[in-house]
């Protein structure tokens, strides 16, 4: 018999959802069967699939040890560095400045050096996260950024903050602003662009057109030019995504005739080679929490803005905080 004591991160979950995470080797059909047969109990009493767990509850599992074997293996995050570029941290969240080249989650390569593994290793070293003490929760990311794009990524340290942040992301109660360097200087210093977006799953690219088609989606991109480098024919844009389509900034600006410097999919490879730039000049550099509904334990973040000051292409080509800022 095994016992799990429900902590704060486990609380407010259904029994079946908790067990799926806590005992991943237990097949779902057996999980449901064992609940019916009362081989899984809460506080010594029969429970249902839909029973909600509370902090302090004790779950008893009268199931074979084989379903728990291997759960004490070395965590993957210990194989990743614990180094981070931290923009902000408190007891509930971490805002990390993810650099270009680092993936946020493990991909097909199997390389354990990911942003989330680095964060978990960092918190483990601080004594704020120990997988041996957590049955159903691990610090998790609330947004994603492509490998070759840099910028602010939000990580929740607790289950409660994760639930709140995921809902805020879904309800668009945060504003993320991007910096990008374009080849060519837009004639309009600010504009709201509208076009139609179609994704090609085979080529992993998107097609942009000015006319609506049955299988395309509207996309709206707002920008303003904040610096110019006339000698290099480059512009530094701040971009606000009104819609959130795949590759939206890269594809939309290329469609307008101002591709991103370093963009291998939608840019001009000849120019990229001339500048010796191998990754797109795109950065999610500013985050503002603008909650319009209750944020619970995260209400103190409402109205706060966090900014990355070290953006490689802004510093290299525009001296972003220098005299030529518009």
How confident is the model over 170-196, as pLDDT tens digits? 999 999 999 999 999 999 999 999 999
Which pLDDT does position 69 carry in this prediction? 67
Report pLDDT for 250. 96
**How far is 52 from 6, CA to CA, in rounded Å?**
11
CATH class of the region 2-68 = alpha beta
Please tell me the predicted confidence (pLDDT) of residue 65. Answer: 83
How far apart, in whole angstroms, are the C-alpha atoms of residue 249 and residue 208?
11
Q: What is the 3-state secondary structure (H, E, C) of 8-19?
A: CCCCCCEHHHHH
Q: CATH 3.10.290.10 region(s) of the chain?
A: 2-68
**String of DSSP letters for 221-267:** EEEEEEEEETTTTEEEEEEEESS--TTHHHHHHHHTT-PBTT-TTTS
Which residue, 245, 124, 228, 136, is CA-closest to 182? 228
Which part of the chain has CATH 3.30.2350.10? 76-170, 176-318
pLDDT at position 322 is 45
Q: Answer left, alpha or beta for residue 297, where phi above 0 means left and psi between -120 and 50 means alpha.
A: alpha
- Report H helices in the chain: 15-22, 28-36, 115-126, 159-170, 248-255, 269-275, 312-318
Check residue 70 and give its pLDDT.
Answer: 62
Digit-coded pLDDT (tens) for 61-85? 999 888 886 655 678 899 999 999 9
- The CATH code of domain 76-170 reads 3.30.2350.10
pLDDT of residue 73: 64
Assigned superfamily of 176-318: Pseudouridine synthase (3.30.2350.10)
Which residues of the chain are modeled with pLDDT < 50?
A: 321-326
The pLDDT assigned to 275 comes to 93
Q: What is the pLDDT of residue 325?
A: 43
89 Rama sector, left if φ>0, alpha if ψ -120 to 50, beta otherwise: beta
Q: Please say whether the beta carbons of 18 and 61 come within 8 A.
A: no
Long-range contacts of 240-248 (CB under 8 A, 24+ apart): 240/175, 240/177, 240/178, 241/176, 241/178, 242/192, 243/217, 243/218, 243/219, 245/197, 245/199, 245/206, 245/217, 245/219, 246/197, 246/199, 246/206, 247/205, 247/206, 248/197, 248/219, 248/221
């Amino acid at each position: 018999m095994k016992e799990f004591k429900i902590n704060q991160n486990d609380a407010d979950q259904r029994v079946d959802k908790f067990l799926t995470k806590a005992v991943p080797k237990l097949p779902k059909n057996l999980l449901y069967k064992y609940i019916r047969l009362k081989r899984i109990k809460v506080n010594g009493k029969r429970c249902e699939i839909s029973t909600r767990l509370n902090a302090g509850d004790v779950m008893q599992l009268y199931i074979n040890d084989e379903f728990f074997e291997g759960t004490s293996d070395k965590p993957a995050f210990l194989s990743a560095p614990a180094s981070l570029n931290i923009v902000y941290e408190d007891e509930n969240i971490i805002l990390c400045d993810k650099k270009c080249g680092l993936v946020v989650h493990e991909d097909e390569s199997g390389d354990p050096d990911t942003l989330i593994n680095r964060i978990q290793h960092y918190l483990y070293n601080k004594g704020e996260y120990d997988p041996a003490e957590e049955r159903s929760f691990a610090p998790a990311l609330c947004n994603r950024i492509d490998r070759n794009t840099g910028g602010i990524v939000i990580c929740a340290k607790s289950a409660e903050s994760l639930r709140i942040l995921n809902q805020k992301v879904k309800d668009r109660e945060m504003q993320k602003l991007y910096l990008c360097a374009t080849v060519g200087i837009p004639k309009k210093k600010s504009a709201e662009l509208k076009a139609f977006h179609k994704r090609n799953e085979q080529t992993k690219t998107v097609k942009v057109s000015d006319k609506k088609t049955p299988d395309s989606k509207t996309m709206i991109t707002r920008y303003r030019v904040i610096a110019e480098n006339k000698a290099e024919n480059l512009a530094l844009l701040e971009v606000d995504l009104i819609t959130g389509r795949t590759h939206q900034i890269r594809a939309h600006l290329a469609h307008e005739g101002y591709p991103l410097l370093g963009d291998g999919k939608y840019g001009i490879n000849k120019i990229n080679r001339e500048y010796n730039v191998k990754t797109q000049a795109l950065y999610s550099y500013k985050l503002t929490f603008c909650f319009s509904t209750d944020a619970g334990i995260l209400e103190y973040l409402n109205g706060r803005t966090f900014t990355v000051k070290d953006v490689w292409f802004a510093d290299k080509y525009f001296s972003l905080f220098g005299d030529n800022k518009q």
